Structure 1
Amino acid sequence: MSERPKRYISLWDFQAANSEELSFKAGDLFQVLDKSNDWWWVEKLNGEGNGKLEKGCVPYNYLAEEGSVEVQPWYFGDMTRTEAMNLLMRVGNGKGSFILRTSDKQGFLYVLSVRASDTIKHFKIMRNTDGEFHLNTTSFFPDLTQLVDWYHEKPVSPGLILTQPCVKVEPLVSHLNPVPLDEWERPRGEFTLVKKLGGGNFGQVYEGLWKGKMKVAIKTIIQDVTTQDLFVKETTFLKTLRHRNLLSLYAVCSVGNPYYIVTELVPKGDLLNYLRDSKEDELDIDGQLDIAMQVAEGMYYLESKNYVHRDLAARNILMGQNNICKIADFGMARFITDSCYVTFSKEIPYRWTAPEAIEYGRYTVKSDVWSFGILLYEIMSRGMIPYAGLSHSEMLTFIRGGQRMKSPPKCSQRVYNVMEKCWNLNPKERPSFSDLKNILENLSYYEASDSTPTQSKMEVLFGWGKKLR
């Protein structure tokens, strides 16, 4: 007897915007026929789930596999700790409101984030060799649903039990790539420039509309010999990459002047201005470390694809909803087939560039790691200028002489140690982005559950006192 195909259930209502899309109500059942892009091609099933009604495209993030943990109102999937914190602090959530989210960190698969009055506590969910889930060494559960049910009755930490799932926000269709990934070239008439957001040496960036309704960012590049090469390199690069911490390319216009590079619109602007404008109660140490971890995640993805960015800096990180970080500005990025990329171009961001790249034009993943150390300095200093007061030549003499920037104010020694590892003169001695992901994760703070030995937040972040067992 053949196994029945997987069925999917819709979590929200959806109204189709064109003839290819399919309208549906929350709770409708589907069989998925094609998952090759952000819009799945599906067949809608009748109420019993067997008769077939109609076919069409639907946004993938409105569906969940029937019977899976994804259908639970408390399950939020792939989400950063800062995103979870922002959601839980919204109106409608009170003490005990919670989110269960996934983690790809070493040692645990899920995190339980719980609101405790005006703070958020995060608990690691481990799984033992028998497949049982647990927060501590006394209570074990065969599945996540039973774990959640248990902590509705028992305290997850002293005085804190789970009450209701965090209010779930319907996903935005505008976050999805609106066309198949092989149909990049679009007619210029589909786009309208609305307002200027910024500019640089090679073009301007505008907020715009796609087909009069979908908000996008449009980078315009005036055509000439230099910018034609830049346009080809940047768009070719972006077409090959898809990651939640990289800016998503939607479309290009290479017919007419200027060229258009159309990407997702990231509403909060660049990280540098966010760091300088935000107050400490808006962005605390946990939030700063979370931003650094997100960038490391995105750079690890680039590292795995053999790309070097060559311009990693706070000004080139964009801040989205719930502080989701997007690495952007890939005009200098290159694919490397050997161990390094060599160029003698002098158009380089000196204060962020590794000494071997400045002096010899040698770019590797490890030169990006040096730049990440400078970016970490920007994050922890809330936007201070690297090597302030030094000229480019003085900066290089300073570095080659074995000196390094001092630790930013209020930055822990453990975090500063990460910067110093990135600034090793020997590229081979610098950590990889895989290493940096794990190092930063180990600096993040997680609560102890009701029967786990506790340790203060200051002890964890700053290395005081005994380590958790």
Structure 2
Amino acid sequence: MNMPDNILEEIFIKRSQQKKKTSPLNFKERLFVLTQDKISYYDYDVDKGKRKGLKGYVDTEKIKCVAIVLPDDNTPPERLYPFQIVYDEGPLYIFAKSDQVRKQWIRELKNVVQSNKDLMQKFHPRFWEDGMWKCCKQEDKKAMGCRVMESKNGGFLNRDNKSISRKPLPPTPEEEKLSRPLPPQPPVSSGFSVGMTVIAEYEYTPMASHDLELRKDEEYTLLDINDPNWFRARDKYGNEGYIPSNYIAQALNGLEKYDWYCKNINRSQAENLLKTENKDGGFLVRDSGKFTGKYTVSVFTKVGGETVGNCRHYNICVTAQDQFYLAENHNFSTIPELIIYHQHNAAGLVSRLKHIVSNRTEHAPSTAGLGYGGWEIDPRQLTFIRELGNGQFGVVKYGKWQGRHDVAIKMVKEGSMSEDDFIEEAKVMMKLCHENLVQLYGVCTKQRPIYIVTEYLANGCLLNYLRDGLQNPTGIMLLEMCKDISEGMTYLEANQYIHRDLAARNCLVDTNGTIKVTDFGLSRYVLDDEYLSSAGSKFPVRWSPPEVLLYCKFSSKSDIWAFGVLMWEVYTMGRMPYERWNNTEIVEKISTGQRLYRPQMANERVYSIMMSCWHERADERPTFQELVVIIKDLLFNM
């Protein structure tokens, strides 16, 4: 039966996305139906001319590219007109019966998806087959395309009917000093709206006079959401004030109120939590490491009564009818119903879910500032406890704010920083708030030296942690460190913020092993000529790409290069990059195409990620958003 909102309907041959090898058995006829929201494909009875069961679908909002695919030599006649629909999980290959039908579908698909976010500017014109792109021979399925989308050849158009073009590189440091434009304010968090009822995930004690107390699991009504980090809200008693936006969740989600749901926890952290609890059948539910909005059940088991147990991870699957399941034939309308069932029945799992393991007692996330609206901190409210180290700008100390909040305090030595410029930007930097960035709480500018007050992370610098503190690291643990950093850098990239000095020494480690990037953007304010010159020993030559070494051209793509070097640091447990070369030799060898070797702990896929960051041409390097997808995919399949 043809539904009224159907745009197109056609029988095509579809190539299986799941098989590692291609054979004639992987090509099957499916009935494809395009609507404004989805492209769905169904089993089809050719003899009876009837649609059968739904085999799969792609939400049109997730489509990043629609393009033709060049057929291989000796292709059968029925597969001469292929095209591809690219979304998060990769390319969906479809074979039309004629070029006219193919053009019609490509045209209609592009009309539907023209306003989508993250449309690709480059694509692969040939198939991904047998573990390799046949057009460019790259062996990473998530590798950036090798052909530019051209508007005259079916490139995407935006609402103004103008071709989407690349963003120009940002100005050089010399141009930047003339105006020093501040980065844009981070956007207001989507998903929240005025009048919405939210639930508190953490307790919050007001730190400023206009803040509102949060009591865990109680509901609040949002009154104003203009600031992305601080929403004005009302509690059930009629009290009003500002609350940190990262302490709340939509009441409709429903999972936050269950102790077994551990938000923002990765696979390694889940395993550490379960092993510490050491109970057979201990379990928790966490966000999927690969897909947003998907969940994983992690279970600890002692099979056969063994003393040292192990962890199993089960992805919660969803049927075409939006039912949840872990084991086939046991489907449920909600995730809590699924959990209740498996608390009493193993039904295909290694064990029934016997004991809830939770991280809900852990400390709440950092807030953007110490209370709403405040960025200037009274130094009399700071207590200095011990010295943590000596950085580019001076001594860093661990201390307390108001005697109860852990903070790190950078005491900026006079003459080391362009203070006035930094103080102006600090107001914007405070609004950058992400779980993988070290939070700037505020500054003390009324005296000299000035203080920079930030979040404190107990496990210290990542470089020292790799060299001295990390015990028996696994491949998953190291890759999750890289994922944490890439997530933080994706946030900076989205907010048009360039780090300029990304390295293991500028990342910190939280008590639960989470990695956070620090000192982003601070190198702009260095007043040390030796640091600013690539000839000086302080300049981060070992983390810099050719365009920085030769032309001082910084961009998010120079941060990508540095991230590749940082990955190398992680997988060598903190070794010095190019340890046998001096700065002059590094510049010469990088310029002639030499790169860091593959670390022993890094497999070929991990090393290919590093190498993708070290393309000589900046525009051929991936974005951080693309790197996150690649790393998540690799973690998901480990």
Q: By the TM > 0.5 criterion, same fold?
A: yes
Would you say the 8 A contact 1:233–1:331 is kept in 2? no
Distance 1:232 1:160, change over 3 A: same
Structure 1: runs of 5+ lacking an equivalent: 46-51, 336-342, 446-459, 462-469
Distance 1:307 1:62, change over 3 A: closer
Deviations 1:271-315 (A, max 9, x none): 11111124543x311111101011111111111111211111111
Amino acid aligned to 2:446 = V
Aligned equivalents of 2:366, 2:609: Cα separation in 1: 33
Would you say the 8 A contact 2:397–2:410 is kept in 1? yes
Select the residue among 161, 175, 199 that pairs with 2:352.
161
What is the match of residue 567 of structure 2?
376
Aligned equivalents of 2:457, 2:565: Cα separation in 1: 23
Distance 1:165 1:64, change over 3 A: farther
What is the match of residue 437 of structure 2?
246
Alignment map for 1:73-92 (pairs within 5 Å): 73-91=259-277
Q: Could you say what secondary structure the match of 2:433 adopts?
A: coil
Would you say the 8 A contact 2:375–2:427 is kept in 1? no
Amino acid aligned to 1:293 = K
Return the offset for 1:402.
Answer: 2.5
Aligned equivalents of 2:583, 2:534: Cα separation in 1: 16
Select the residue among 468, 483, 500 that pairs with 1:310.
500
What is the match of residue 258 of structure 1?
449
Amino acid aligned to 2:451 = Y
What is the match of residue 406 of structure 2?
215
Alignment map for 1:119-198 (pairs within 5 Å): 119-135=310-326, 138-155=329-346, 159-172=350-363, 175-177=366-368, 179-198=370-389
Amino acid aligned to 1:421 = S
Return the offset for 1:124.
Answer: 2.4
Amino acid aligned to 1:285 = G
Aligned equivalents of 1:191, 1:102: Cα separation in 2: 37
Return the offset for 1:40.
Answer: 6.3
Select the residue among 276, 280, 284 that pairs with 1:99.
284
Would you say the 8 A contact 1:95–1:115 is kept in 2? yes
Return the offset for 1:366.
Answer: 1.3
Would you say the 8 A contact 1:270–1:314 is kept in 2? yes
Would you say the 8 A contact 2:544–2:558 is kept in 1? yes
Distance 1:141 1:365, change over 3 A: same
Deviations 1:338-371 (A, max 9, x none): xxxxx87765301111121111111121111111
What is the match of residue 109 of structure 1?
294
What is the match of residue 339 of structure 1?
none
Aligned equivalents of 1:183, 1:212: Cα separation in 2: 18
Select the residue among 597, 611, 617 that pairs with 1:406.
597
Select the residue among 477, 480, 489 that pairs with 1:299.
489
Aligned equivalents of 2:593, 2:214: Cα separation in 1: 63
Identity level (%): 32
Return the offset for 1:185.
Answer: 1.0
Aligned equivalents of 2:448, 2:580: Cα separation in 1: 41
Return the offset for 1:138.
Answer: 4.6
What is the match of residue 478 of structure 2?
288
Aligned equivalents of 1:420, 1:432: Cα separation in 2: 14
Distance 1:62 1:306, change over 3 A: closer
Return the offset for 1:175.
Answer: 3.3
Aligned equivalents of 1:14, 1:185: Cα separation in 2: 21
What is the match of residue 438 of structure 1?
629
What is the match of residue 10 of structure 2?
none
Distance 1:263 1:150, change over 3 A: same
Distance 1:402 1:146, change over 3 A: same
Return the offset for 1:320.
Answer: 0.6
Q: Could you say what secondary structure the match of 2:400 adopts?
A: strand
Amino acid aligned to 1:305 = N
Would you say the 8 A contact 2:475–2:601 is kept in 1? no
Return the offset for 1:123.
Answer: 2.5
Between 1:231-240 and 1:8-17, the stretch displaced more is 8-17
Would you say the 8 A contact 1:344–1:361 is kept in 2? no
Amino acid aligned to 2:508 = L
Select the residue among 357, 366, 376 that pairs with 2:548.
357
Would you say the 8 A contact 1:21–1:58 is kept in 2? yes
The one of the two structures with greater contact order (alpha-carbon pairs below 8 A, sep at least 6) is 1
Would you say the 8 A contact 1:156–1:162 is kept in 2? no
Q: Could you say what secondary structure the match of 2:286 adopts?
A: strand
Would you say the 8 A contact 2:325–2:332 is kept in 1? yes
Aligned equivalents of 1:20, 1:236: Cα separation in 2: 19
What is the match of residue 517 of structure 2?
327
What is the match of residue 338 of structure 1?
none
What is the match of residue 465 of structure 2?
274
Structure 2: runs of 5+ lacking an equivalent: 1-194, 303-308, 526-531
What is the match of residue 423 of structure 2?
232
Q: Could you say what secondary structure the match of 2:262 adopts?
A: strand
Aligned equivalents of 1:240, 1:39: Cα separation in 2: 10
Aligned equivalents of 1:108, 1:212: Cα separation in 2: 39
Q: Could you say what secondary structure the match of 1:69 adopts?
A: coil
Q: Could you say what secondary structure the match of 1:330 adopts?
A: coil
Give the structure-2-normalised TM-score: 0.60
Return the offset for 1:329.
Answer: 1.3
What is the match of residue 71 of structure 1?
257
Alignment map for 1:334-345 (pairs within 5 Å): none
What is the match of residue 187 of structure 2?
none
Distance 1:394 1:230, change over 3 A: farther
Q: Could you say what secondary structure the match of 1:321 adopts?
A: coil
Deviations 1:219-253 (A, max 9, x none): 11133384425633762552241111111111111
Return the offset for 1:34.
Answer: 5.4
Q: Could you say what secondary structure the match of 1:218 adopts?
A: strand
Between 1:6-15 and 1:111-120, the stretch displaced more is 6-15
